[in-house]
């Protein structure tokens, strides 16, 4: 009887150790997915601005999610009915009005939020060029297995020195909800 109790105890201890190993393996897989997602996101940002610097076309199709592209299309459709400048007064990826310089570079890329399992992330960075420096953030989503830009949040300084932000998705939605004049 005593021998059976010892064997059962030993078996339970082995099972408990095996359970901890599974939890550790699960955490390792999760950490691995997060690291992989971070590398993909940084690569996306670098690829996007390398393409912008070369003035390649179709940046939205290549780097933005379908919801972003649909909203931009709706804004452009509304703007086509106006005689003056519409919603977009500059290139929203770079904040430039003319051709992009060839020295665009995303610097100080920081993953602020990441949920690789849910496919959401927020990444801030500074877009540097010889023309200007812009601080911004991307909200990203994972669509069809690829990280895509879901929103561009731009930061700017107010006249009182305080920093404010501007979400393109929110602003586009507000603009689309405004009646035509």
pLDDT digits (tens, 9 = 90+) for 6-29: 455 444 444 444 444 444 444 555
**SS3 readout for the chain:** CHHHHHHHHHHHHHHHHHHHHHHHHHHHHHHHHHHHHHHHHHHHHHHHHHHHHCCCCCHHHHHECHHHHHHHHHHHHHHCCCCCCCCCCCECCCCECCCCCCCCEEEEEEEEEEECCCCEEEEEEEEECCCCEEEEEEEEEEECCEEEEEEEEEEEECCCCCEEEEEHHHHHHHHHHCCCC
Q: What is the pLDDT along the chain (181 residues), one digit of tens a residue?
A: 555 554 554 444 444 444 444 444 445 556 788 899 999 999 999 999 999 999 888 999 999 999 999 999 999 999 998 888 889 888 899 888 776 788 889 999 999 999 999 999 999 999 998 888 889 999 999 999 999 999 999 998 888 888 899 999 999 999 999 987 7
């Amino acid at each position: 009887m005593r021998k059976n109790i010892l064997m059962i105890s030993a078996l339970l201890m082995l099972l408990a150790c095996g359970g901890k190993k599974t939890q550790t393996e699960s955490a390792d897989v999760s950490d691995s997915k997060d690291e992989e997602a971070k590398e993909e996101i940084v690569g996306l940002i670098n690829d996007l601005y390398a393409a912008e610097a070369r003035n390649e076309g179709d940046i939205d199709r290549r780097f933005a999610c379908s919801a972003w592209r649909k909203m931009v299309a709706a804004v452009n459709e509304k703007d086509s009915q106006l005689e003056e400048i519409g919603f977009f007064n500059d290139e929203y990826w770079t904040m430039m009005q003319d051709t992009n310089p060839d020295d665009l570079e995303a610097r100080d890329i920081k993953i602020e939020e990441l949920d690789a399992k849910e496919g959401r992330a927020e990444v801030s960075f500074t877009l540097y060029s010889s023309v200007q420096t812009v601080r911004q953030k991307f909200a990203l989503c994972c669509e069809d297995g690829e990280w895509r830009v879901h929103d561009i949040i731009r930061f700017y300084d107010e006249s009182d020195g305080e920093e404010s932000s501007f979400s393109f998705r929110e602003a586009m939605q507000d603009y689309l909800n405004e009646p035509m004049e």
